[in-house]
Structure 1
Amino acid sequence: MNKNNTILIVEDEMIIAANISLQLTHLGYEVTGIIPRAEDVLTHICQHVPDIILMDINLKGDLDGIELVHLIQKEYKIPIIYLTANSDEANFNRAKATNPYAFVSKPFKKLDLQRAIELTLVRIQEEQNSEKTLDITSEEPFILSDCIFIRSHDKMVKVCINNILYIEAERNYCKIHCKDKEHLLVMTLKDIEEKLTSNTLLRIHRSFIVNLSHIDEIATSHVVIAKKAIPLSAELKKKLLQHIQKV
């Protein structure tokens, strides 16, 4: 696997951060930056989007690492590896809701960090390979009240609304995440939203439409569906709560 992958270190203990950076450089990775303050992270990412973020959970300041990840995930899909010296159950559950790729407990050995990164890169590659095998169609689907008919090769495949977990915008495509399969459509999320007549599918973020019947948790800035933390726009949260009461 190509090791010319970029990694951002978010760590407020500079001795630890410098040591991590040195280790990563020796392993052949490129460190895009070492940032101790949560407030500076989004600005950095805007200029240099890394392949992986090493995120200290216990950042000093107004935001801890988990809260910062929620903000990052509103704009970017970057794999997160948490660094933590505090492994209590409450923090673990908060962090788990952001769907991280790994946890590394401090103090850690060089091998622990190396393996966490390598496993994350393997998972990234598997996800990219999986996307290549998804059903892709350039023909507009038939969107009905209880199902969506999607062109797959020489036939139309029925996707029941009840089986849809959420729909995610992917650049010029939309990915429909179902319980047992995924479908990739050459269609914008806005176009899908305009054609939907189902009361159970609702847009809660510029990049996500969710199935209200599959929501497991509603937090301040995200919802959880099938262990996936999905960002929730502040302006759409009231609309979500109103629809939940009707479903």
Structure 2
Amino acid sequence: MKNYNREPIKVYIVEDEPLILETIKVIVEEGGYKVCGSNNNVKDAIIEIEKFQPNLILVDVMLSGDLDGIDLINRLKAKNNIPFIFLTSLSDEETLKRVKNTNPSGYIVKPFNENTLLANIELALHKQSVKITSKLESVTKEKDAFFIKTKGEFIKIDKNDILFFEAYDNYCYVYTNTNKHLISHSLKSVEQKLSKEKFLRVHRSYVINISKIDSINEGYVYIGKHKISVSKLHKEKLMASLNML
């Protein structure tokens, strides 16, 4: 997963075999992620994970010492919601039972290859993103606001602050009074989530907040400093939505 123009996604590795650790580091970094730390000891790893707050943990089940990787995850889960993937040469019934109880984002049996590891990382991060988005949407059921993901964080945007949306390939921009954000949804999918009484498509590339219109003239609407095209197909519906004297 390349992460251009964003904060790098941080991966922490817990592995006690030096050669395997170095192999994992190379694969992770060549895959576009940042290895923010590594350790082979559960207690030290917990301290560093609390410090670095990685986006994902790769953890071996078998570790030197009294505690193993499953013990590590059980201790972390009490305070953190960081997704994790187990890397292990074990696949016995007892280990699998303990692993399933932790609800991991992935389980990779050694030996593994580069594609397997990167695919599991990608899926784990996607599942975490979907989970977070679902929780945020449930918080904003009143539909007065929604969250967008940008530069690795989720930002709350009040719908009353939105000026308009502009299509950009399979994505779209959302414009507010102070910012412009690129979001990973098509204009059509965004339009379906908006109030038809407040937001209106005026062009194949634009959905506007009707309450923000300053003026209309010769096939354009003006919202602040923005001049937005109105197509003939949508002009009649636009005029009908306005409170005219």
Q: TM-score range by the shorter chain?
A: 0.5 to 0.7
One-letter amino acid of the structure 2 residue matched with residue 21 of structure 1 = K
Q: Distance in 2 between matches of 1:40 and 1:107?
A: 26
Aligned to 2:74: 70
Task: Please state if 1:29 is matched with 2:33.
Answer: yes
Aligned to 1:86: 90
**Equivalent position SS for 2:50:** helix
One-letter amino acid of the structure 2 residue matched with residue 16 of structure 1 = I
Describe the superposition over 1:5-57 as per-residue Cα deviations: whole angstroms up to 9, x where unpaired.
Answer: 11000000011001100111111100011211112011101210100000100
- Among 104, 107, 120, the residue aligned to 2:108: 104
Q: Distance in 2 between matches of 1:119 and 1:101?
A: 8
Aligned to 1:191: none
Describe the superposition over 1:84-127 as per-residue Cα deviations: whole angstroms up to 9, x where unpaired.
Answer: 10111110110110110000110101111011001011111211
Aligned to 1:120: 124
Contact 1:38 1:64 in 2 (8 A): yes
Q: Distance in 1 between matches of 2:100 and 2:94?
A: 10
Q: Distance in 2 between matches of 1:52 and 1:67?
A: 17
**Equivalent position SS for 2:23:** helix
Q: Distance in 2 between matches of 1:39 and 1:132?
A: 32
Contact 2:10 2:56 in 1 (8 A): yes
Q: Distance in 2 between matches of 1:46 and 1:119?
A: 23
One-letter amino acid of the structure 2 residue matched with residue 12 of structure 1 = D
Alpha-carbon shift at residue 128 of structure 1 (Å): 2.0
One-letter amino acid of the structure 1 residue matched with residue 42 of structure 2 = A
Q: Distance in 1 between matches of 2:128 and 2:102?
A: 16
Q: Distance in 2 between matches of 1:67 and 1:51?
A: 19
Aligned to 1:12: 16
- Among 28, 39, 59, the residue aligned to 2:43: 39
Counting aligned pairs with the same residue, the percent is 35
Change (3 A) 1:57 1:131: same
Bigger Cα Rg = 2
The aligned runs of 1:1-247 (5 Å cut-off) are 3=3, 4-136=8-140
**Equivalent position SS for 1:133:** helix
Count of residue correspondences: 140
Q: What are structure 2's unaligned runs of at least 5 residues?
A: 144-245
TM-score between the two structures when normalised by the length of structure 2 = 0.54
TM-score between the two structures when normalised by the length of structure 1 = 0.54
Q: Distance in 2 between matches of 1:110 and 1:102?
A: 15
Q: What are structure 1's unaligned runs of at least 5 residues?
A: 138-151, 154-247
RMSD over equivalenced CA pairs, Å:
1.8
Q: Distance in 2 between matches of 1:79 and 1:101?
A: 6
Aligned to 1:171: none
**Equivalent position SS for 2:102:** coil
Say which is worse superposed, 128-137 or 115-124, in terms of deviation: 128-137
Contact 1:14 1:36 in 2 (8 A): no
One-letter amino acid of the structure 2 residue matched with residue 79 of structure 1 = P
**Equivalent position SS for 1:87:** coil
Contact 2:2 2:32 in 1 (8 A): no
Alpha-carbon shift at residue 134 of structure 1 (Å): 0.5
